Amino acid sequence: MLRLAATVLFAATTTLALAAEPIEGRWKTASGETAGIAACGGSFCVTLQTGKYKGKRIGKLEGAGNDYSGEITDPSEHKTYSGYGTVSGNSLKMKGCVMSVFCKSQTWTRL
């Protein structure tokens, strides 16, 4: 019986781990700060966890798999841009654009 309970527990935790989207987790930003990305209200909220703007939500993205889109805010300038994120292994390429023409990109690394 104990073996069955352990097997069920293992299967449940494995299923939960697989259910998380690739974008969820802790990421080291290009400026060296840590950002956390977690599910929030059907989207994924990007919140700074370290640095001068610790606790500030700097983005909200929607999507699944490897591609996400939404809004990204530059906390130092308080400007919001169209945002895009693409996950590739332990890298997250973040792109912010004005009018979908003028874009800046940075690559974040999974912690």
Which residue segments constitute the domains of the chain, with CATH numbers given? 22-110 (2.40.128.520)
Whole-number pLDDT of residue 19: 56
Tokens for 20? 């998380």
Q: What is the mean pLDDT of residues 80-101?
A: 94
Q: What is the mean pLDDT of residues 20-39?
A: 96
- Give the residue, 17 or 19, on which the prediction is more confident: 19
List the end-to-end C-alpha distance of the chain, in Å, as a whole number: 38
Q: What is the DSSP letter of 79?
A: E
d(CA 37, CA 23): 7
d(CA 46, CA 69): 12
Average pLDDT score, the chain: 87
Whole-number pLDDT of residue 81: 96
How confident is the model over 32-74, as pLDDT tens digits? 999 999 999 999 999 999 999 999 999 999 999 999 999 999 9
- Give the residue, 2 or 87, on which the prediction is more confident: 87
Tokens for 45? 């909220």
